Amino acid sequence: MKQYMIGLDIGTTAVKAVLFTTRGEYIDKETQHYPLHTPDVYTAEQDPDEILMKSMRALNELVERNGCGDEIAFVSCSAAMHSIILLDHSGERLTDCITWADRRSEDTAEKWNGDKGLAIYRRTGTPIHPMSPFIKLLHFKEETPEIYSQIGKVVGIKEYVLHHLTGIYEVDKSIASSTGMMDLETSQWDSEVLELLDLTPKQLPDIVSTIKVHQSIGRNLGQTGLAKDTKIILGASDGVLANLGVNAIQEGDVAITIGTSGAIRTVITEPRTDPKMRTFCYHLVGDRHVIGGPVNNGGVILRWIRDELCQEEVGQADAYNEDPYEVMTRAADSVSPGSNGLIFHPYLAGERAPLWNAKAVGSFYGLTLSHERSHMIRAALEGVIYNLYSVYLALREQMNEVKSIKASGGFARSEMWKQLMADVFGEQLTVPKSYESSAFGACLLGLYALGEIRDLNEVADFVGESDAYIPEEKVYLKYQEIMSVYIELGRALEPFYDRMDEIR
């Protein structure tokens, strides 16, 4: 087998091409950024051709910089979920890439948030919410019939990019299961959903295994710098691959990821949904499925705090050549747990789990004249973790036991934030030293697809050591008291989200 492998991770704000040896050692990474177009509070779109171009550029620059084009065994793919691109019958775009964050289908989601929507959720595993491609398509069918009638194919961003290399529109079972349109039991497009949408299976990509292998790059080879015999592995969604990338694939393992957004997930061996529709259920590989909850508000909260409240810290960071986030977390660390009675609900981008309410908004509660900016920074950090913990409580109801909690994502660069998570959860937190968990998970899946890993239990040999964070009991007990207020206060605020949305 050749010496290297690449995980291509197509995210919401950037694409990353990550180079590893086939033994799992991290070598290098190329990141290419692209904008999210948000002309109003409801719209969140991207130019799929820009993402395609940046994906090819990331591969090319990574390969050229390392001089390894002939030594890449395969490229395996990861991508953000819930995107749709409408194409006409000639393959031309009717829309841009409509991302998970797009809220234009809010009213449609509300109409379906009853028994009929619950029945579809139980079959497909995707909660009824504006993020869902099923709900997005219903919205387009109702609001823009002149465009909808021209649909030749509905694809997501990963299918769009891979079509450029393979010439085929295929969707892996993981991404398909996050559309709200695939029956989890049959792994086929749900006939009732297609009837509701007035679509046929031919207007959707073929559903294939996450470990399907294309034995060579079919076309546009020159844009990648790769050799023609480089294999392409379909891969899966970034969320389920993050579990694989941190070795959280046994019953009782919990994986937490905080990037721009965040999620908490665990692996099960048969499809399972929540009677209260608080969690998702998506396919990974074979009989393995992942249940959990995604949150809109992860690192984006800290970025908002930086941009809107922390110009002094940013200036200090510039003056001393530091990362502004390090300056901010030092300020937060100077404040005692609980932020002196200040609670932050981090719903600045609406919220998926645990609320599943796109109209949710953020709030500080408990502000007094004694609070300083450092209290607000810490309260924001705590609020993100409180929110994830509330999702964990719903997930915990569906688990027999919790054996481990493993975390990854951009937040893991902060020692303070990792200890905070351990203290709020009251469990030992381990942070594997593996790089780029979703891209690494894609590569591990690629090794499994090619038979280089015969059993997924061997993933543990590749992930390596982890750092451990132990909760402080007194701090945990204090956070438990605060959590009861956080949850009760959140419930009390819910009736106002609709009212304020109408006023705004």
Sorted by where each begins, the domain ranges of the chain are 4-246+435-458, 299-432+472-503
**134-180 confidence digits (pLDDT tens):** 999 999 999 999 999 999 999 999 999 999 999 999 999 999 999 99
Whether residue 131 contacts residue 12, with contact meaning beta carbons closer than 8 Å, is answered with no
Angle, in degrees to the nearest 10, between helices 373-396 and 324-333? 80
Checking if the pLDDT of 465 tops 90, the result is no
Beta-bridged to residue 268, according to DSSP, are 289
Angle, in degrees to the nearest 10, between helices 299-309 and 311-319? 90
Checking if the pLDDT of 320 tops 90, the result is yes
Burial of 455 (0-12, 13-18, 19+ CB in 10 A): exposed
SS3 for 450? coil
Whether residue 355 contacts residue 347, with contact meaning beta carbons closer than 8 Å, is answered with yes
Residue showing tokens 């990861």: 78
SS3 for 147? helix
Sign of CA dihedral 144, 148, 150, 153: positive
Which amino acid belongs to residue 181?
A: M
When pLDDT is cut at 50, 70 and 90, the band that residue 195 belongs to is very high
Checking if the pLDDT of 63 tops 80, the result is yes
What are residue 142's phi and psi, to 5 degrees?
Answer: -80, -40
When pLDDT is cut at 50, 70 and 90, the band that residue 497 belongs to is very high
When pLDDT is cut at 50, 70 and 90, the band that residue 243 belongs to is very high
SS3 for 270? coil
Q: Which of 60-64, 354-358, 465-469 tops mean pLDDT? A: 60-64
Average pLDDT, the chain: 95
For the chain, first and last CA: distance in Å?
59
| Dist. CA 344–CA 332, nearest whole Å | 14
| Dist. CA 184–CA 189, nearest whole Å | 9
Which amino acid belongs to residue 478?
A: K
Residue showing tokens 């294309």: 214
Give the pTM.
0.92
Of 461 and 196, which is predicted with more confidence?
196
In this structure, which topology does domain 299-432+472-503 adopt according to CATH? Nucleotidyltransferase; domain 5 (3.30.420)
Q: In sequence order, what are the residues at sequence separation of 6 or more whose Cβ sits closer than 8 angstroms to the Cβ of residue 209?
A: 172, 173, 234, 285
**372-392 confidence digits (pLDDT tens):** 999 999 999 999 999 999 999
| Dist. CA 58–CA 171, nearest whole Å | 22
In angstroms and rounded to an integer, the radius of gyration of the C-alpha atoms of the chain is 22
Q: How many CB atoms lie within 10 A of CB 406?
A: 23
Which amino acid belongs to residue 119?
A: A
Considering only the C-alpha atoms of the chain, give the largest distance between any 2 of them, rounded to a whole number of Å: 66
pLDDT, position 369: 98
SS3 for 333? helix
pLDDT, position 432: 87
pLDDT, position 456: 93
- As a whole-number percent, the residues of the chain with pLDDT over 70 amount to 100
Angle, in degrees to the nearest 10, between helices 48-66 and 157-166? 60
Q: How many CB atoms lie within 10 A of CB 250?
A: 14
When pLDDT is cut at 50, 70 and 90, the band that residue 421 belongs to is very high
Q: Does domain 4-246+435-458 have CATH number 3.30.750.24?
A: no
pLDDT, position 413: 81
Checking if the pLDDT of 40 tops 80, the result is yes
Whether residue 248 contacts residue 241, with contact meaning beta carbons closer than 8 Å, is answered with no
Checking if the pLDDT of 39 tops 80, the result is yes
- As a whole-number percent, the residues of the chain with pLDDT over 90 amount to 91
Checking if the pLDDT of 435 tops 80, the result is no
pLDDT, position 143: 97
Mean pLDDT of 212-219: 93
Q: Would 4-246+435-458 and 299-432+472-503 be classified into the same CATH topology?
A: yes
Q: How many CB atoms lie within 10 A of CB 364?
A: 16
**250-266 confidence digits (pLDDT tens):** 999 999 999 888 999 99
Sign of CA dihedral 259, 260, 262, 267: negative
When pLDDT is cut at 50, 70 and 90, the band that residue 504 belongs to is confident
What are residue 331's phi and psi, to 5 degrees?
Answer: -60, -45
**80-97 confidence digits (pLDDT tens):** 999 999 999 999 999 999
| Dist. CA 204–CA 176, nearest whole Å | 10
Whether residue 280 contacts residue 451, with contact meaning beta carbons closer than 8 Å, is answered with no
Whether residue 209 contacts residue 234, with contact meaning beta carbons closer than 8 Å, is answered with yes
Alpha-carbon 490 to chain mean position:
23
In whole angstroms, how far apart are CA 27 and each of 6, 66, 68, 268, 436? 10, 9, 11, 32, 12
Checking if the pLDDT of 448 tops 90, the result is yes
| Dist. CA 244–CA 463, nearest whole Å | 9
> Which is nearest to 242 in space by CA: 55, 472, 463?
463
Q: How many CB atoms lie within 10 A of CB 500?
A: 12
pLDDT, position 501: 87
When pLDDT is cut at 50, 70 and 90, the band that residue 313 belongs to is very high
Mean pLDDT of 12-24: 95
Q: In sequence order, what are the residues at sequence separation of 6 or more whose Cβ sits closer than 8 angstroms to the Cβ of residue 63?
A: 69, 72, 224, 225, 226
